[in-house]
Amino acid sequence: MSPTVFRAMRQMRFFQSSPGAPSLLPDVQRGRQLLLLLTLAGLLGLVMTSVATAQAAPVTDMATPEAVEPDAAAADDPGHELHAADESHAAGHDDHAGGHIDPVANVLLAIVIILLLAKVGGDLFERVGMPAVLGELVIGILIGNAALITGWHGFDFFHAPPEAQLGDPYSAGAVLKMLAGIGVVLLLFEVGLESSVRDMMSVGSSSLLVALLGVVAPMGLGYLTGLFFVPEAGWQVHLFLGATLCATSVGITARVLKDLGRSQQRESQIILGAAVIDDVLGLVVLAIVSGVITQGADFEPMSLVVIVLKAFGFLFAAVLLGTRLFTRPLFRIASYLRGHGMLVATALVVCFGFSWLANQVGLAPIVGAFAAGLILERAHYRELGKKENVELEEALEPLTALLVPIFFVQMGIMVDLSSFADASVWGLAAAITVAAVIGKQVCAFGILEKGLNRTAVGLGMIPRGEVGLIFANVGLALQVGGVPVISPGTYSAVVVMVMLTTMVTPPLLKWSMTSGAAPEPESPETGGEPVEESAAHSTADVH
């Protein structure tokens, strides 16, 4: 389930006025908003000026082949290398004296631009009732296609060079891509923290069936859609499209239910319970599909069994053995150590360690990150949290506030708007969007109780959100024989599907829920959160 669920709840509690707090006058509020907009406009102007300056400034690049290769006369000189080293050293001092730009400067500039524009874009989208992640994604699309839209190449340094191509080791785009990879690992770690093994065992039969149908039906429809609309792409692409449609991000759904005061209804509990299982099943499907695709023509039925056993085996081993042999002893040892930030450092050791192990057994690092969050419970780090007077989720917020927006903006940067010049890309985007919506409506047949709003459950499972982007990101890395499996057009179509499904869910869900019976009264003890959810996610109150 998405971290957006509990961030939304925190924001809603934060903006509720305390009984004795005076409300701001409308004129004061308008004045503050105007001052904020003027400040952001000024910062944006400074950033654009800095970009232009950085593009025009001389930067020490890697030596060209012509400069590296000595001529014949120099090769015969035994002191040539010494003279060359002296000249290079002197040139280095000249560069510093003349204002040589540190390679990290462009990275810092890129982070400044991303954080500033991502937060502004996210705010604008939230003001119109849309998730902030869409604003961050749109900002990335605009940055990545600035040259195509305006003819200005000032943002070209955001693009990472192809992995198979040797380039500048200090490329800002390559560094941003690595930071985005760490950001998505932390994002999945947060998702795992908000779930637990106990949640998975207590979701109920209806939630379980809804989750299963929500994976099987969209995957089948996605495969058939790819087979019909891009038959020349090959079965690997068709399989990837099916896996991408399995994703579900119910953060948007949970926020709408909270706003409507319907989070205590049985339909809401089914949706949120199914999300716990859907997270696990989706990642397992992604791991299996990735393993099958990368084998290419060498794929054999027996290898599928190995991949399935590997995916489930890793998760079960992490749950059964990771807690007893690694997580609990590690936090117990850390509680005796002195120093600041031990809680975050120990949690990151668990997160990154499991991510590395997952990659070593042939799975995506995000599978390991999710497993690490899944097995961590408050009981493991309660003593360490009391010692530092902070909750784990709260301690991780500064890291996620920096790295997660970089991931979403990076996903937008990789969208190639020029690919939409091909009408088939628009057709594919429309087709997989329809398949994504219909596939999740099949979930309604998994509800066993009578008299419930089946339409609301199906609509609540529609949004793909950040989970869909994570799946698309994994697909971009898939290669067969050194050739990328996913073309820029296919990736762009998937991003359009993610955006559309995320945008249509709030109004559709509001219509479906408000057309039924009156909302049940919210529980004062839980603040409107489902009973089983409030018990399982008590650690998320800080969000």
pLDDT in tens, 439-456: 999 988 999 888 888 998
275 vs 159: which has the higher pLDDT:
159
Q: What is the DSSP letter of 89?
A: H
List pLDDT tens digits, range 345-398.
999 999 999 999 998 988 889 889 988 988 888 777 888 878 888 888 888 999
The residue behind tokens 């009578």 is: 450
Instruction: State yes or no: pLDDT of 13 exceeds 70.
Output: no
pLDDT at 81: 42
Q: What is the mean pLDDT of residues 194-213?
A: 80
pLDDT at 87: 44
List pLDDT tens digits, range 302-347.
777 888 888 888 888 888 877 778 888 888 888 888 888 889 999 9
Record the tokens describing residue 389, joined without a space. Answer: 């007077």
Q: Decide if 130 is inside a domain.
A: no
* 522 pLDDT tier (thresholds 50, 70, 90): very low
Among 461, 481, 410, 479, CA closest to 140? 410
Instruction: State yes or no: pLDDT of 207 exceeds 60.
Output: yes
Distances (CA, A) of 249 to 135, 176, 275, 498, 508: 16, 25, 8, 10, 16
Mean pLDDT, the chain, rounded, equals: 77
Q: Decide if 83 is inside a domain.
A: no
pLDDT at 36: 58
Q: Decide if 283 is inside a domain.
A: yes
* 534 pLDDT tier (thresholds 50, 70, 90): very low
Among 41, 40, 33, 249, CA closest to 133? 249
Instruction: State yes or no: pLDDT of 10 exceeds 60.
Output: no
- Helical ranges in 145-204 per DSSP H: 146-150, 172-193, 197-201
Instruction: State yes or no: pLDDT of 30 exceeds 90.
Output: no
Q: Tell me how many degrees the CA angle 517-523-525 measures, rounded to the nearest 5.
A: 170
List pLDDT tens digits, range 139-166.
999 999 999 999 999 998 898 877 655 5
Q: Return d(Cα 275, Cα 254) in angstroms, integer.
A: 10
pLDDT at 323: 75
Domain of residue 391 covers 186-515
Q: What is the mean pLDDT of residues 255-283?
A: 81
pLDDT at 16: 40
Instruction: State yes or no: pLDDT of 186 exceeds 90.
Output: yes
* 525 pLDDT tier (thresholds 50, 70, 90): very low
State CA 132 to chain mean position distance: 12
Instruction: State yes or no: pLDDT of 6 exceeds 90.
Output: no
The residue behind tokens 């998702």 is: 191
Q: Decide if 245 is inside a domain.
A: yes
Q: Decide if 454 is inside a domain.
A: yes
Q: Decide if 50 is inside a domain.
A: no
Record the tokens describing residue 356, joined without a space. Answer: 């590395």
This prediction has a pTM of 0.73
Record the tokens describing residue 332, joined without a space. Answer: 């117990």
Distances (CA, A) of 223 to 218, 463, 476, 486: 8, 19, 17, 14
Least confident of 17-21, 127-131, 407-411: 17-21
Q: Decide if 160 is inside a domain.
A: no
Question: 489-498 burial string, b = 16+ CB within 10 Å, else e?
Answer: bbbbbbbbbb
Q: Return d(Cα 274, Cα 89) in angstroms, integer.
A: 63
Instruction: State yes or no: pLDDT of 471 exceeds 60.
Output: yes
For 460, other C-beta atoms within 10 Å of its C-beta total: 31
pLDDT at 292: 85
End-to-end CA distance of the chain: 14
Q: Decide if 369 is inside a domain.
A: yes
Q: What is the CATH number of the domain that holds 198?
A: 1.20.1530.20
Record the tokens describing residue 87, joined without a space. Answer: 């000249």
Instruction: State yes or no: pLDDT of 520 exceeds 60.
Output: no
Question: What total of structural domains would you count in the chain?
Answer: 1
538 vs 496: which has the higher pLDDT:
496
Torsion angle of C-alpha atoms 413, 419, 423, 426, degrees rounded to 10: -20
Q: Please, are residues 230 and 297 in contact by the beta-carbon 8 Å criterion? A: no
